[in-house]
Chains A and B, each alone.
Chain A
Amino acid sequence: MATETKQTSEPDGVLRLGGPGLAAEPTGDIHEIETDHLEVSMGPQHPSTHGVLRLKVKLDGEWVTEVQPEIGYLHRGVEKIAENRTYFQFLTITDRLDYVAAMACNAAYAVAVEKLAGLTVPPRAELCRVIVQELDRIASHLVSVGTYGLDLGATSPFIYAFRDRETILDLLEMVCGARLTYSYIRVGGVARDLPEGEWRTRFRQFLDEFPPMLDEQDTLLSENEIFLLRTRGVGVLPPEVAVNYGTSGPVLRGSGVAYDVRRSKPYGLYPQLDFNVVTRPTGDCLARYQVRVEEMRQSVKILRQCDQLLDEIPPGEVLAKGARGVKPAAGEAYASVESPRGEMGVYLISDGSNKPYRLKWRSPSFVNLSVLSAIGRGWKVADLVAIIGSIDPVFGDVDR
């Protein structure tokens, strides 16, 4: 098992990381045999690039000597579209960014516009936001963890994860009528209050049933020796490099940096809630996987508190006055939320009209993926797949 990570400082002063394969240079007699590197294009149609990622990979046998991500296959010019939509209308487009966790996209945009326009969100709406965001975080992590199993060849965890995710999607569908493109968190609040009755029962049932299911599914992966062999010590990302690259979310916390927007730059109801920022010190694929699993448990913890708060905060107004035709004064604001993939920020400039003058989306997947060319080299092809899976990019979010 390869556990060592090498760092080399190359002439241009750029820090490069990589696996044990970096040392696999031919020595002695092998020099006499002329060998050539194999250049392959991994993706954009490839089962484990999680969408339309294309990697230009240079292989020396099974060793990856160079990896260069090529993105943009899903670019839809969302930032330009934003300049042609009203503040209220653009919210529906944000669903299409990180389509695995659209609630976070809704929230990031809504928080930014509220900051710019000085809107106050009603307390009940804040509670609804936390609940749907955390549910969505679990759903998103389940996709990530499940497909990670699939990347490593285990099919069952994927199905188990999607079965649980289905429960969450049903809950969210009851809340907002859609399973992926929620458009639920609106500028100034939420679209509608949470439904009562059956929804509440099923929500509580989910909170009770999910943790054992998660443990069971986790048994299949993180307690399996083959899985550990494939992930432990693979794709190590040291903390200083992770910060230098600006990574966030499980990728950064897997390297031991306790940076979570919900704690670092608190928003909404999060300062009142009790949860831990999950970190793992090792920075390898296993650490990133474990952070995701543990975050799901933390989300359940948050949701249990929210379940109590639902009784304390009475139903009432859920959309701030004047949110529909919001017209912020000229100015600019940067606001961010913790999406399942990390710091999802929106930099918004207003010129006083009803449409954004400029909107810049700080997508966590984009930043996290940029670290791949640094940590992806020096490993085997199979490890590269594991590393991509542990970074968990979503291409709606990367390419925007």
Chain B
Amino acid sequence: MGLFGRLVDDLVNTFVSILKGHQVTWRNLWRERVTLQYPNERPKLPERYRGLPGLHPELCIVCGACAKACPVQVINIQGRKIAGTRHRELVRYQLEAGRCMFCGLCEEACPTKPVKAIRLSNTFELAVADKSALVLEIPQLLEIWKSKPVEVPEEQYLAATPKKLAAQELAKQAEGEKPKAEGAEAAPRPKRVAAEGGPAGG
């Protein structure tokens, strides 16, 4: 072949390779598009999607497991004991969504049943004009919580909230009964829960 052969070979290769590339792009010209026209067409999010965490304040037993599990410490919980009972109620729950990394450890740590008090929702649009708007308080968190459908009917998961249990307990106390056993069953002891979630402090 020699030099001429190599030259011809080069020419053929160049020619074919460039035509082949154009063949590929030509074929793609007629294929179905894959673009999603986002604000008008919404993505179909899978069931396990990890969006913004939402909280149901009624369900929260104020055990602090989520705050301890959080690797970036964006959860701030303030609670108080319901006078005369073992139950606690939520005073304030703050979540700094701007620093949240949607890892879902809080949801995994949450001990409430049958529905978790803190759940990652399908909300992913976080754009705000002011960073302070990303510090979420209970009303917003509740809205986010409710944005994701729950399989359990509402009466069922709201049947044994800490407040209701406390009210029952108080009522029983008023009747003169000893409410210990029931209270221990309803609210798991925070220490055990915290150990499962992995304590961060100390």
A interface vs B, CB < 8 Å?
85-90, 92-93, 95, 156, 160, 163, 166, 170, 173-178, 181, 183, 191-192, 195, 216-217, 219-220, 223-226, 228, 324-325, 354
B69 at the interface (CB under 8 A from A): yes
The interface residues of chain B lying within 8 Å CB-to-CB of A191 are: 104, 108
Query: Residue-by-residue, is B14-26 near A (CB-CB < 8 Å gives 1, otherwise 0)?
Result: 1001101100110
B71 at the interface (CB under 8 A from A): yes
Whether A174 contacts B46 in the complex (CB less than 8 A), given A88-B198, A220-B24, A223-B20, comes out as yes
The interface residues of chain B lying within 8 Å CB-to-CB of A88 are: 105, 198
B interface vs A, CB < 8 Å?
13-14, 17-18, 20-21, 24-25, 27-28, 34, 45-50, 69, 71, 101-105, 108, 120, 195-200
Cα distance, A257 to B21, chains bound together (Å): 32
Q: Indicate if the CB atoms of B48 and A181 lie closer than 8 Å.
A: no
Q: Indicate if the CB atoms of A85 and B49 lie closer than 8 Å.
A: no
Whether A324 contacts B197 in the complex (CB less than 8 A), given A166-B34, A225-B18, comes out as yes
Complex partner residue of A223 from B17, B25, B48, CB under 8 angstroms: B17
The interface residues of chain B lying within 8 Å CB-to-CB of A170 are: 46
Could you list some 6 contacts between A and B, CB below 8 A? Answer: A160-B28, A173-B49, A178-B102, A181-B101, A191-B108, A324-B198
The interface residues of chain A lying within 8 Å CB-to-CB of B13 are: 225
Complex partner residue of A220 from B25, B46, B104, CB under 8 angstroms: B25
Complex partner residue of A85 from B21, B34, B197, B200, CB under 8 angstroms: B200
The interface residues of chain A lying within 8 Å CB-to-CB of B101 are: 92, 95, 181
Majority SS of interface residues in chain A? helix
Q: Indicate if the CB atoms of B46 and A89 lie closer than 8 Å.
A: no
Cα distance, A354 to B197, chains bound together (Å): 12
Q: Indicate if the CB atoms of A177 and B20 lie closer than 8 Å.
A: no
For B45, give the chain A residue with the smallest CB separation.
Answer: A173
| Residue from the set B28, B49, B71 with the largest chain A CB neighbour count within 10 Å | B71
How far, in Å, is A305 (CB) from chain B's closest CB?
25
Cα distance, A178 to B104, chains bound together (Å): 10
For B34, give the chain A residue with the smallest CB separation.
Answer: A163
For B17, give the chain A residue with the smallest CB separation.
Answer: A225
Cα distance, A175 to B28, chains bound together (Å): 30
| Residue from the set A89, A163, A195, A216 with the largest chain B CB neighbour count within 10 Å | A89
The 4 closest A-B pairs by CB, nearest first: A177-B50, A92-B103, A89-B71, A177-B48
Whether A223 contacts B195 in the complex (CB less than 8 A), given A85-B200, A174-B48, A178-B102, comes out as no
The interface residues of chain A lying within 8 Å CB-to-CB of B34 are: 163, 166
Q: Indicate if the CB atoms of B105 and A219 lie closer than 8 Å.
A: no
How far, in Å, is B125 (CB) from chain A's closest CB?
15
The interface residues of chain B lying within 8 Å CB-to-CB of A177 are: 46, 48-50, 104, 120
How far, in Å, is A110 (CB) from chain B's closest CB?
15
Cα distance, A160 to B48, chains bound together (Å): 27
Complex partner residue of B105 from A89, A156, A160, A223, CB under 8 angstroms: A89
